[in-house]
A and B are shown apart, each in its own frame.
Chain A
Amino acid sequence: MLTKRQAKTFFIGGTVLFAAIFLGLTIDTLSNGLPRNTHPEKMDDQVKLGRYLWDKNNCMGCHTIMGEGAYYAPELTRVYSRKGPAYIRTVLTAPEGWQPRGRNMVKYDFTDEEVEALIAFFKWMDEAYLNGFPPKPWLQPSE
């Protein structure tokens, strides 16, 4: 029968082993996988400003990006190719705040520079490879 000492060894040994593997994979992900898929070299000052604004205004408090966030407003990973920059600009500069189908988006007073920065950020996001996410729908009823 298992003794308390053996159980303790199992706990400590397992934890150390799997934490070490996890750290190894983390290093690989940060140095190889993530840069290959997300092109940090394309993050110029404009993209960085867009990324900052994305955070500062808690956009993922309603939207998702890379599938992460809240589920109150659309997924925006591919919004740049799906809707185009002109549409995004219209949404971000709607004088009374964007109101899709009766739902309210917060009214933001972005400057032109900030609007363009957010668009640049979405373009950068659009070019990231996310292992096939978002998936292509099986059917396309709206088209």
Chain B
Amino acid sequence: MKYKSQKVAYYFFAFSMILLLLQVTYGFIMAFAHMGYDGLHEWIPFNAATATHKNLLVVWIISGFMGAAYFIIPDEAETELWSEALAKLQFWSWAIVGVIAVAGFHFGWFEGRKFLEIPRPLDYLVALNVVLFLVIILMTLLKGKRQTTTAWVLTMGLVFAALLYLPGMVYFENLAVDSFFRWWVVHLWVEGVWELIMGGILAYLLIRLTGVDREVIEKWLYVIVGLTFLSGILGTGHHYYYTGGPKYWLLIGGIFSAMEPLAFLGMTAFAVQMYRKGNKRHPNKLALYWTLNTAILSFLGAGLLGLAHTLPQVNLYTHGTLVTAMHGHLAFWGAYGSLVFAVIAYAMPLMTGRKIYDNFIGNLAFWTANIGMLGMTAAFAAAGVAQVSLERLAGYEFMEVAKVIEPHFFVLIIAATVFTTGILLFMWNFLLYGAPSDEAIQPEGEPVFQVTT
């Protein structure tokens, strides 16, 4: 860590970890309910649990992004944060709004809009908070000694993510119009601008961890984010097949969705290639594993499993079934969960001075979390395929099918237990790092193990 104010990132990372633990807890509540055990129904009905599960996901990932930005931007711009005090204020207000939103879900204070259940009065507070965050980041970048492509890609990703939140704040009476704009937020986030954020963070980590020349990495960064938008913007069409839109979305969505895995494949090839070109001298192996994991699992989860059901002919039958949950879980984990873990694994030793680079707990966390999530994906896939076959193809009633697929949720719970073990081990490591310390400041910055060519 080169700058004192980078320590603010720690708050966001810690908050992120707490929310993740809560998210997983709600996942278990839902999985048990699917198996027929909904003993908490009186207090936490399924619709409150699902709103909580999904919004905790969004908030912990964004907290991770914010922490990453507070850590990366000063480093890239070579300056202290514009205002550390305001950054702390932004953290606390963010945390308070987040807690109110989640608590509110349990009292029926929500909107029935998947992923955007936070009620509108709170939306304004979220927007205000994000504006403050962006001002801090932009001012830091502008006053900095240098403005790198990596920093700009990351920052623009954050700016556009904030702008795209706005269409989700408007109330449309026609449910189909509401759904149309809801995907402007959700799709253009996760398959659009969040990939800018992801690209920026990956580029930063790869520059640091592999020692490959910045110019080379940033050039490919442009190509990848270019591919992302080339396929991802019109790829939004796969949400418009069967929600009231005109027929041409079937063609446009089908073609551009089929191209979306290319962007993720580019991301994978980019990271793996840079790793191979790199000198492998950086001691922080855990950060490197999580970085490569992000690049590879995002291709599997977001790219391939997305493609598995975005062809309109297939989607006609899989739309609105557990097949979507299969894709959703591995996509979010692979692309964004794992990315936040990579940043944390990289930044924590630098912020605290404790060189936990390759310990047993960290390695065990890596493998159990990933194996658990792959198991969960398989369980959702089995449940989803069975649901599609029985309900959509054979015409059995929803609840008849729900009974038949209950055993898959038992498998899901077993796999989720393995996953949770990984998460808990990662958090144990997080505690082992301890709190950030000024003693960890290295005025010259972290030594870069530059590849010599």
Contact = CB atoms under 8 A, between A and B. Distances in A.
Interface of A: 2-4, 7-8, 10-11, 14-15, 18-19, 21-22, 25-26, 28-30, 32-34, 36-38, 40, 43, 48, 51, 54-62, 64-75, 100-104, 106, 125, 128-135, 137-143
A107 B216 CA distance: 60
Nearest to B176: A38
Nearest to B325: A71
Interface in B225-274: 225-226, 229-230, 233-234, 236, 240-250, 252
B330 to A, nearest CB: 16
Contacts of A40: 173-174, 177
Contacts, number: 218
A36 to B, nearest CB: 8
B392 A135 contact: yes
Contacts of A130: 242-244
A106 B47 contact: yes
Contacts of B110: 58, 61
A54 B114 CA distance: 12
Given A69-B320, A133-B241, A139 B393 contact: yes
Given A32-B246, A62-B50, A74-B398, A11 B177 contact: no
A143 B344 CA distance: 56
A67 B218 CA distance: 40
B111 interface: yes
Contacts of B111: 55-56, 58
B332 interface: no
Given A56-B111, A104-B45, A135-B316, A34 B180 contact: yes
Interface string B296-340: 000000000000000000001101111011000000000000000
The 5 residue pairs across chains A and B that have the minimum distance between CB atoms: A61-B47, A33-B246, A137-B395, A67-B320, A133-B242
Interface of B: 30, 33-34, 36, 38, 41, 45-51, 108, 110-114, 117, 149, 173-177, 179-180, 215, 218-220, 222-223, 225-226, 229-230, 233-234, 236, 240-250, 252, 316-317, 319-322, 324-325, 387, 391-400, 402-403
A66 B175 contact: yes
A131 B402 CA distance: 26
A66 B179 contact: yes
Main secondary structure of the interface of B (DSSP, over half): helix
B173 A43 contact: yes
A66 B176 CA distance: 8
A61 B245 contact: no
25 contacts: A10-B222, A10-B223, A11-B226, A19-B229, A21-B234, A30-B180, A37-B245, A37-B246, A58-B112, A60-B114, A61-B49, A61-B50, A61-B51, A62-B46, A62-B47, A68-B179, A69-B320, A72-B50, A75-B320, A101-B399, A128-B176, A130-B243, A134-B392, A137-B391, A142-B397
